[in-house]
Amino acid sequence: MDSYTINMESNGILIFTINRPEKRNAVDYKVMDGLLEAIKLCEDDKVKALAVTGTGKAFCSGGDLSIFHGLITAEEARGMLSKMAGILYRLMMLPKPTVAVLNGTAVGGGCELASACDFRIAKRGAKAGFIQAGLGITTGWGGGTILLERLPAPKALSMLADGMILSSEELENIGFIDRVFDGGPANACNAFLENILKKDTDVLKAYKNILIRKWVSSSVKERIEEEVNQCAILWESDAHHQKVAEFFNKK
Ligand SMILES: CC[C@H](C(=O)O)C(=O)SCCNC(=O)CCNC(=O)[C@H](O)C(C)(C)COP(=O)(O)OP(=O)(O)OC[C@H]1O[C@@H](n2cnc3c(N)ncnc32)[C@H](O)[C@@H]1OP(=O)(O)O
């Protein structure tokens, strides 16, 4: 079974779907490479928007702990963290509308992936939380930096520092989720983007470039690199490795 799928819809939406339901769509290196492939495909003028979603009960459960728990030192972690941070940076800087369609639970790096999209819509009942703090680390794929660009600082910091998993309604109240939907993710995505897709691609690109210029002038890239560095340092702590071990021992 492929770890991801990439589908071009007739309405111009390119859909990237993480397809690892047996691991709640945890991100491994194949998923990272697939996301980068989808981002590059968006350079085609036929693509009007990019949607990111998952298969099964979860949107994305963050980094694949069964692989990444083998990364022990800061240096080892930094390689993986900076790879995905670089991909999420390219995702957020894509000069086309992007939407995370939360078909289910998003935790940890899954919330960082969702944050890198312009918009987030969630199926009623979906939950999401930046659980990294409970694992003895911070966000490490740029998601903390990006969230602080998306939400007012008090809201963003409470999501990050609380590390709680919140309901779709709570997330909508905070402003992390732009719309809660019932029914199928694809129909919800089409409905959310319907009016945007009617606009000329150059107009949409011009508006996104206003945002991109703001991020470039405020050194978002450098701030993400610093976030990666500080996560890598926390990564090698005994507290983090103990928490990851507890996740697997709880079975
Ligand atoms: C910088 C990013 C950072 C990093 O890279 O480390 C992070 O993303 S930190 C956060 C890492 N992610 C987690 O700690 C989440 C762990 N998973 C969960 O909390 C739950 O699985 C949840 C809430 C996502 C879903 O709970 P549910 O009860 O529906 O499912 P199970 O827990 O029974 O899991 C089913 C099955 O999937 C495996 N699984 C789930 N998440 C991961 C993961 N992130 N990596 C690897 N495997 C994962 C879990 O082990 C179960 O496998 P099974 O063989 O059936 O026991």
Q: Which stretches does DSSP call E strand in 103-195?
A: 105-107, 119-123, 127-129, 166-167, 179-181
- Ligand 1 residue neighbourhood (C-beta within 6 Å): 23-24, 26, 57-58, 61-66, 68, 81, 105, 107-109, 131-132, 135, 140-141, 247, 251
With a cut of 0.85, is the ipTM above it? yes
- pTM > 0.90: yes or no: yes
Domain boundaries, the chain: 4-197
What sign does the CA torsion over 53, 157, 95, 219 have? Answer: negative
Residue whose CA lies nearest to ligand 1 atom number 20: 61
Which tens digits make up the pLDDT trace of 159-199? 999 999 999 999 999 999 999 999 999 999 999 999 999 99
CA of 234 to the centre of ligand 1 (A): 20
Place of tokens 């709680």: 164
Which tens digits make up the pLDDT trace of 24-50? 999 999 999 999 999 999 999 999 999
Query: Which 8-state DSSP code applies to residue 152?
Result: -
Please give the Cα distance from 200 to 22 (Å, whole number). 40
Neighbours of 72 (CB within 10 A): 11
Taking 80 as the threshold, does the pLDDT of residue 251 lie above it?
Answer: no
Residue 73: alpha-carbon gap to chain centroid = 24
Residue whose CA lies nearest to ligand 1 atom number 16: 61
pLDDT score at 248: 84
Candidate CATH numbers 3.50.50.60, 1.10.10.10, 3.90.226.10, 3.30.460.80; the one for domain 4-197: 3.90.226.10
Query: Which 8-state DSSP code applies to residue 25?
Result: T
Q: Are 96 and 42 in contact (CB under 8 A)?
A: yes
Please give the Cα distance from 224 to 18 (Å, whole number). 24
Six-digit token string for 39: 């981002």
CA of 107 to the centre of ligand 1 (A): 8
Place of tokens 């719309």: 179
Which tens digits make up the pLDDT trace of 102-112? 999 999 999 99
Neighbours of 77 (CB within 10 A): 23
